[in-house]
């Protein structure tokens, strides 16, 4: 028996791969992206206002203002921590009408402000008008301010103050750097 093989017509030639025009090694130049500038921390006007305002509230209160009647002994618990105090806003910081209002804020220690969700005031801001019952933070603020001042605080929070207006007002109040001023102030000439 004779073996038959398939015969090819012509010789087998490899064709080179065609690369697209924008691949590397071609004459087409790619545009270079501009280099990013190094990140530099600069305190903004808002941060300066927040720091100055928080210092005032902490200095005014002097200790953690957390009080609760939920204690195991049955008597009122009062936190006496005087270190690592933070500024706690009853009406959130996103509301520019009351962000820098001293009546809206009290000083709390870190534990009662952020860490302890069962005791922390931040999680107990419920109001009778909205939720049907008052949370601990609301009860405490009503005791501190009184009913009339508390109602006035709620009314002030409904205003339409812009971010820029709130920052400018606070900068004037605490004699902070105004927008447009350089960070370095020129030396004052000495009088003769």
| Residue 60 to residue 55: CA distance in whole angstroms | 8
Half-sphere exposure of 77 (CA within 13 A, CB side): 13
Q: Could you tell me if 176 and 52 are in contact, meaning their C-beta atoms sit under 8 angstroms apart? A: yes
Q: How far is residue 100 from each of residues 59, 191, 192, measured CA to CA in Å?
A: 15, 38, 42
| pTM attached to this predicted model | 0.66
- State whether the Cα torsion 8-13-19-21 is positive or negative: negative
Total number of residues shown for the chain: 192
Per-residue pLDDT tens listing for the chain (192 residues): 666 666 666 666 677 776 655 555 555 556 666 766 665 555 688 999 999 999 999 999 999 988 776 656 667 778 888 998 999 999 989 999 999 999 999 998 888 887 766 656 666 777 778 777 788 788 888 889 999 999 999 999 999 999 999 999 999 999 887 666 555 544 455 554
């Amino acid at each position: 028996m004779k073996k038959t093989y398939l015969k090819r017509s012509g010789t087998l030639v490899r064709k080179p791969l065609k690369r697209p025009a924008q691949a590397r090694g071609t004459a087409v130049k790619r545009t270079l992206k501009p280099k990013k500038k190094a990140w530099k921390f600069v305190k903004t006007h808002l941060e300066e206002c927040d720091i100055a305002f928080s210092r005032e509230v902490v200095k005014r209160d002097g200790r953690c203002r957390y009080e609760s009647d939920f204690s195991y002994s049955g008597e009122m618990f009062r936190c006496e921590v005087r270190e690592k105090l933070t500024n706690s806003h009853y009406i959130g910081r996103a509301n520019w009408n009351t962000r820098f209002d001293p009546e809206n804020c009290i000083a709390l220690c870190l534990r009662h402000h952020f860490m302890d969700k069962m005791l922390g005031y931040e999680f107990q801001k419920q109001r009778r008008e909205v939720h049907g019952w008052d949370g601990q933070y609301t009860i405490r603020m009503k005791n501190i301010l009184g009913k009339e001042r508390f109602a006035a605080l709620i009314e002030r929070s409904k205003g339409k103050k812009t971010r820029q207006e709130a920052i400018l007002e606070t900068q004037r109040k605490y004699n902070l750097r105004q927008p447009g001023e350089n960070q370095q102030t020129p030396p004052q000439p000495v009088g003769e």
